[in-house]
Amino acid sequence: MENEEKLDAVFYALSDSRRRLLLEELAAGPRSVNQLAAVAGMKISAASKHIAVLEAGDLVVKTRQGREVLCHLNYDVWREVAGYVAMHTKFWSGRLDELATHLKSARET
């Protein structure tokens, strides 16, 4: 990811289970704020606040379709997040393999 502030905003947005629920719903396609609020069992004002956090993390974008506001996943940012996680997964996988080798050799001596 390009900078620390952006990364912080993304992971802050992902840190709440209600926001993750909204994202899961958006994975099926665009939804209105009203639809998201209904699925999550929250008031529209609460859903709007959570959506604002998701927008701040650039995970969600809103468009206007007539009188309705639709939320969409921002797939470009999701690709960046996946790349960031993959990089760390590769690093830690290698480190854990080294640790396992070290522990095995320590037991044999």
- pLDDT for 2 equals 60
17-21, 67-71, 95-99 — which is least confidently predicted? 95-99
pTM score of the predicted model: 0.76
Residues 4-24: pLDDT tens digits? Answer: 888 899 999 999 999 999 999
pLDDT at 51 over 90: yes
Res. 98 pLDDT band, cuts 50 70 90: confident
Rounded distance between C-alpha atoms, residue 90 and residue 105, angstroms: 23
Furthest-apart CA pair in the chain: how many Å?
A: 73
For residue 91, give the CATH number of its domain: 1.10.10.10
Q: Is 31 left (phi over 0), alpha (psi -120 to 50) or beta?
A: beta
What number of other Cβ atoms are within 10 A of residue 106's Cβ? 8
Nearest one of 53, 56, 58 to 73, comparing CA atoms: 58
Q: How many domains does the chain have?
A: 1
pLDDT averaged over every residue in the chain: 88
Write out the residue range of the structural domain in which residue 65 sits. Answer: 4-108
Strand order in the sheet with 68-73: 31-32, 68-73, 60-65
User: Which tokens is 82 given?
Assistant: 């996946």
Share of the chain above pLDDT 70, in %: 93
For residue 37, pLDDT over 90 is answered with: yes
Cα angle 96, 7, 5; round to 5? 135
